[in-house]
């Protein structure tokens, strides 16, 4: 199955929402009122969770498709 470019960001956002690690990180960011957490390791950019300045894609089917 090929990843459709226009749909990719939405699919990543949905996968991030289902990942407990990502949900916890986003909650910590919101509580702190900042967009960057842990020396820029985690941040939120354009609605996507980023880790080390890269879009974080949780383990699973979507990550496999992208790779």
Q: What is the pTM of this model?
A: 0.66
Tell me what pLDDT residue 57 has: 92
Least confident of 2-6, 20-24, 43-47: 2-6
Q: Which domain holds residue 54?
A: 5-33+41-66
Residue with tokens 């990550």: 63
Q: Which residue has the tokens 């226009």?
A: 6
Provide the domain count of the chain. 1
pLDDT, tens digit (0-9, with 9 covering 90-100), for 27-65: 777 777 766 656 667 778 888 888 888 998 998 888 988
**CA 19 → CA 2, 8, 26, 33, 49, distances in Å?**
22, 17, 11, 21, 11
């Amino acid at each position: 199955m090929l990843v459709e470019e226009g749909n990719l960001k939405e699919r990543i956002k949905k996968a991030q929402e289902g990942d407990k690690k990502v949900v916890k990180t986003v909650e910590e960011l919101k509580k702190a009122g900042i967009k960057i957490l842990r020396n820029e390791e985690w941040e939120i950019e354009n609605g996507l969770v980023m880790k080390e300045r890269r879009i974080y894609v949780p383990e699973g089917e979507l990550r496999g498709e992208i790779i």
